Chains A and B, each alone.
Chain A
Amino acid sequence: MSYQKRPFRLSRRQVMRGLLATSAFGLTAKFGTSCAQSPTPEATAEEGAATAPAEELVVGFLYVGPKDDFGYNQAHAEGAAAMAANVPGIKLVEEASVPETTAVAEAMRSMIEIDGAKVLFPTSFGYFDPYILELATEFPDVQFFHAGGLYQEGVHPKNVGSYFGYIDEAQYVAGVVAGHMSQSGKLGFVAAKPIPQLLRNVNSFTLGAKSINPDITTQVIFTGDWAVPVKEAEATNSMADQGVDVITCHVDSPKVVMETAEKRGIFASGYHANQSSLAPAGYLTGAEWDWSSIYTNLGQQFMEGKTLMAGDIPHILRGGLAEQFCKLSPYGPAVTDEAKADADAAKAAIESGELIIYQGPIKTNEGAEVIPADKGLDIENIELEKMDYLIEGVVGSVS
């Protein structure tokens, strides 16, 4: 130990010099930044504190991942930005990468206590039980909006609301496009976990494709988790090897799937948000959330003084293509006019209510009949929320 002392001996003078230099640097750095950037945020914050509390409404958004993930979180973040831009008087506070543990409860609490948030949008599905429910009980005058349709009248606190889009309608239309564009008659679906919402997407995508080509099949691969980029890329590659020529997915961030499909020269259909920039040649269309319209609408209602507690805002907001809960990405360059025409027709029929996606007879891919021939399940039907099967034409298994 002692011989090491030699090359690194610090005299008192050197230490003092070092400390002085560091503090001088710190001071100048501080002055530099304070001149350059900070006046604006500080000034606005001052202004906000001075004039705002009476009229400004603080709305908090929490995301489970980064805001620029080309997927689930980005779709919500874009919607939040649209709300803040379109509705004057709304101040946005956001927190990204909040895990589904006590961290989210603490994040919501500090948004309420420190930032004075009156409305919260904890966007991840898994935030609901128990975190949102507990906080909602503790803060009865704060409104909590959750994406997922889990609210139950009488069971959950009055200041909790659910909003939920039937994005499988958009997946059906995307399936119509995919059915037209596939040469091999094999579609691919990279899926995270077999929960009802996801199975609905797989099945309606397949139904859309089968409406064009009854013999078409969809190969589904479950990766087991919402964000496992390596497995998603592997799944995409292996399906491309098997001759699949249109791939879509339901994972948190479709980025890797889209990029891999583009690299392999096959078509891709997006999900959550618009991913056309990731696959400029092969992007066909995509099932996107349209949170901008929903959030803007809700924001206007907040500013009019409407609340969940008073009953002015319904506790369950649901809708599909017609209600602008979801939409389709603009068609990519490869999509043929014929495909566009059929897809537009299917979209119009869904919006008008003429086309029922889950019209019997529908069998599972194990041969059991789930919807008899004379029965059709409306998109709102609660039975669909419990879906635990893959329909005929899907290659894969739930368990």
Chain B
Amino acid sequence: MLSSQTLRRSSEAILLPIGAVLVALIIFGLFTALAGAHPFAVYGSIYKAAFGSWSAWQNTLIRASPLMLTALCTALPARLGLVVIGNEGALVMGGLSAVLVGLSLGTTIPGVGVQGAMALGSIIGGGVWIAIVGALRHYRGVNETISSLLMNYIAIAFMNHLVQGPLRDPEFVTKPSSAELAESVWLGTIPSTRIHYGLVYGLIACILAYFLIQRTTFGFAARTAGGNIRAARVAGLPVGKLTLVVCFLAGSCAGLAGMVEIAAVQRRLNESIVSNYGYAGILVAFVSRHNPLATVLVSVLLGGILASGGILQRSHDLPDATVLVFQGIVFLCVLFSDSLYGRFPIFQDRPERVTGGTAASV
């Protein structure tokens, strides 16, 4: 009985989001038809550009890897009942810390050592940034969604100030940037691919987060506090400490994404680090219902959607915002599907139906 119940539960948790994505595909198909394209040809192109070949897969995975890390910045605090959307700011602060560490160490120690120090720096930088949000929430009662959103702007403005002033490399004329990291500290690509090691970081972080939340007493405490904060206090759980630690971990993941972006892609700090990875991460976290393992899959899905943005413009003459429309439709459908949990009798067990009947008569 128990096993069939968990089976029903988990199939509900898997089938509903898939159904939502399918509905989103149908709506998007209608949209492309209105825009003058052939929906099935569009689906075909999306598939071809995102998953159709090994090269397309690499394109998808490259775009997915920062999303896995930034998504955790929303997914982890969500287990505590906090809606944190400071992903972009934490990513910027992580990138900034990584560059500061990387430039000040230079080539004094071997490249791997510098990379480790940069990763650590970015974890602390991003972590402290979101821990501030947690502290404001816990000690002063400041709404964490608003404060984390506003702190994004502060982080971006601070970074821009630094690269246009004290950190600026006058030799590099393309755009105001910090000096370039030494070549020995660049993060390479996985052999025989063009995917950088950020993907591995993302996978490891998601798996660790899953075990932390689902399989440890710490995770249990966090989930309990997220479920009912008063009950958690009565049970003697240190809610304040939990808030700070979870927020720190969340920020450190996004911070690490910033370090990867710097060390593997940009190699210097400039405004290009702000390219919506943080905001896309929020989408990933909500679509994956804040489950760190599902985050991996959803990141790959969204990476594929982003990878197909180009071919929609080139082969179907659709406007460049089409891919954002698609993303938005998927987001809305998945959020709406949240309200359908427990409403399909096929996923419910018989005993629940009996209680359902009595409750309905009230």
Contacts and interface: CB of A to CB of B under 8 A. Distances in A.
Interface stretch (B32-40, B115-123, B130-138, B285-293): B32-40
Given A5-B343, A128-B174, A33 B39 contact: yes
B280 to A, nearest CB: 11
A101 interface: yes
B311 A193 contact: no
Contacts of B355: 2
A160 to B, nearest CB: 14
A337 interface: no
A134 to B, nearest CB: 9
B8 to A, nearest CB: 14
A99 B80 CA distance: 34
A383 to B, nearest CB: 14
A3 B355 CA distance: 9
A1 B12 CA distance: 15
A10 interface: yes
Contacts of B174: 125-126, 128-129, 148, 150
Given A95-B313, A102-B62, A5 B29 contact: no
A189 B343 CA distance: 60
Interface stretch (A105-113, A204-212, A269-277, A359-367): A105-113
A193 B176 contact: yes
Given A5-B356, A193-B164, A224-B160, A96 B343 contact: no
Number of chain B interface residues as a range: 35 or more
Judged by DSSP, the binding face of B is helix
Nearest to A29: B33
Nearest to B23: A22
A13 B348 CA distance: 18
A97 B313 CA distance: 10
Interface string A100-123: 111100110111011100000000
B360 interface: yes
Given A97-B321, A128-B174, A38 B29 contact: no
A5 B345 contact: yes
Nearest to A130: B267
Contact of A195 (B26, B175, B316): B175
A95 B313 CA distance: 6
A8 B348 CA distance: 14
A67 interface: yes
B325 to A, nearest CB: 13
Contacts of B352: 2
B55 interface: yes
A128 B165 CA distance: 23
A95 B320 contact: yes
A3 B311 contact: no
Contacts of A130: 267
Interface in B271-318: 271-272, 275-276, 306-307, 310-311, 313-317
Contact of A101 (B41, B272, B360): B272
A80 to B, nearest CB: 13
B208 interface: no
A66 B322 CA distance: 12
Interface string B130-174: 000000000000000000000000000000100011000000111
A125 B362 CA distance: 68
Q: Which of B176, B311, B340 has the most C-beta atoms of chain A within 10 angstroms of its own C-beta?
A: B311
Contacts of B109: none
B272 A100 contact: yes
A121 to B, nearest CB: 14
Interface in A18-42: 22, 26, 29-30, 32-34, 37-38, 41-42
A399 interface: yes
A6 interface: yes
B197 to A, nearest CB: 13
Given A41-B317, A110-B311, A3 B342 contact: no
A94 interface: yes
B153 to A, nearest CB: 12
A93 B359 CA distance: 61
Contacts of A51: none
A110 B345 contact: no
Given A5-B345, A67-B320, A115 B63 contact: no
B310 A10 contact: no
26 contacts: A2-B352, A2-B355, A4-B342, A5-B343, A37-B36, A42-B38, A42-B41, A66-B319, A94-B314, A95-B310, A97-B320, A99-B272, A101-B261, A102-B62, A106-B307, A107-B310, A109-B59, A110-B55, A110-B56, A128-B174, A129-B172, A129-B174, A148-B174, A193-B176, A224-B164, A399-B165
Q: 5 closest pairs, A vs B, by CB? A: A2-B356, A96-B320, A97-B320, A38-B38, A99-B275
